Chains A and B, each alone.
Chain A
Amino acid sequence: MADAKKTNKGPKIQLRDVHKAFGAKQVLRGVNLDVGEAESVVIIGGSGTGKSVTLKCILGLLQADKGSIKVAGEEVAGLESGPDRDRLNAKFGMLFQHAALFDSLRVWENVAFSLTAGHGMGRDQAREIAMKKMALVGLSSKVGDLYPAELSSGMQKRVGLARAIAPDPEIIFFDEPTTGLDPIMSDVINELIVTCVKEVGCSALSITHDMVSARRIGDRIAMLYQGKIIWAGPVNQIDRSGNEYVDQFINGRAEGPIEMLVRAL
């Protein structure tokens, strides 16, 4: 189903041989990844392997050193800030790993930000939409008038989520959407992401460490290890990937081919 759509319209996001280094430190060493129309792809991988960096390269917050990044067929690698980048970013919704809420604005102003600042919508109307989006992530309207610093980190995360989906983006990026949430709230958020993809028809690229969440929200899963995607496939094949790195990761075993840089006491 997802594959059929893909051949019709081509992938929504396509990464080819993307490299990124910070000084001498090579983080991405040739990432290849496709996200189809109305498809939800989940990136898994160890801490510090460059998952967030991958998203930031697509968003243009970091410039890839080498390789091609296409969004809806248009080459965007090397597209720095300017009207073209703004037009592109208007299609995107992004949830940052640490929420990145504007702490000088109230919660509802954060959620409505793209509506008031970007589209010049009136404050009353924007507030109404913001309240609806907040209800979707399980936040009551009372929270709307607080400031982000007055919320718990799990609540901040959900405000970030509401802000990301407020302008009804075509493509959403979620950097660890369920980290720091209790299991029930995690499930609400998983449900919300599934709804966005299945009913609204947007494409989603998420990062998570939470395998329960990955299985729930992903059509496909891709594993990042040492700067490359070492395995990618449909979510129902992850247990039969035949890749020992993937097996070790999804089962959370300390023993295996992935060596953690820790020494025994």
Chain B
Amino acid sequence: MNHPIEFVALIGRAFLGFLATAGRLVLFALEGTTHIFRPPFYFRLIRRQMVDIGYYSMPVVGMTGLFAGMVLALQSYTGFARFSAEGAVATVVVLSMTRELGPVLAGLMVAGRIGASMAAEIGTMRVTEQIDALTTLSTNPFKYLIAPRLLAGFTMLPFLVLTADIIGIFGGYVVSVYKLDFNAANYLKRSWEFLEFLDVFSGLVKASVFGFLVALMGCYHGFNSKRGAQGVGAATTNAVVSASILILIFNYIITELFFSK
């Protein structure tokens, strides 16, 4: 008889739980972000994170961009051939890469690579009491662990995405010219013709936001990791899944902000 009530209560509880988590997350992000601007600064740590995110992610992100650009050319060519619009292939490749595929694919790849490793590293530090040890050594864990990662995520992703864009467009060019027999000069001209500053810029803004989200999710889940190896495993999974979902949600929101008239 009281089933409907229980059902409503369940939804209510889930909703309250969601709000509580969102609140904790915002506080966590604020605390981490403010430490970016307050001395002392740990330049060694910031540099190490930047190299780890910006440099060592290049191969993965580059490969992703290359094949995305290649398949894009192939698919749009075969699709557009049905209504004799093959000429649009260059434009499709360049716009799709800079606006959407570059940032989203790079973001997702980095979520898997960086988000997971951040959650695992910080989670292990939590369960082996290294974070407690930081506190007893008068070092704020937010300043020492969280702030450098947020900063590196935020600043490095645009560079990665720019690389992915360029490699992706190049991949599209290679397929179009060498496999689909486009005229090279014509293809290049078509590529530039319709590209606007906003296309690239919006992609880079997305990149910054995604980088911040990935680092935030890795840090947050690692920092709040429960005890033991199982806890760290769960933190890693949660970091990757939540970062990926947030990337897709924010991708929509930012696209809407930039391009909906």
Contacts and interface: CB of A to CB of B under 8 A. Distances in A.
A94 B138 contact: no
A88 B222 CA distance: 27
The residue among B128, B133, B140 with the most chain A CB atoms within 10 A of its own CB is: B133
Nearest to B136: A94
A81 B137 contact: no
B144 interface: yes
Nearest to A89: B138
Given A81-B140, A86-B140, A117-B144, A102 B135 contact: no
B190 to A, nearest CB: 49
- Interface SS of chain B: helix, strand, loop or mixed? helix
Nearest to B141: A81
Interface in B112-159: 121, 124-125, 128-130, 132-140, 144
Interface in B24-70: 40, 42
Interface residues of B, number: 18
A108 interface: no
A178 to B, nearest CB: 19
Contacts, number: 57
A61 B125 CA distance: 14
Given A117-B139, A118-B139, A100 B133 contact: yes
A174 B133 CA distance: 13
Contacts of B134: 102
Contact of B132 (A56, A101, A120): A56
A243 B140 CA distance: 44
Given A56-B132, A61-B132, A118-B138, 8 more contacts: A81-B140, A89-B138, A96-B133, A98-B129, A100-B133, A102-B125, A114-B139, A118-B137
Interface of B: 40, 42, 121, 124-125, 128-130, 132-140, 144
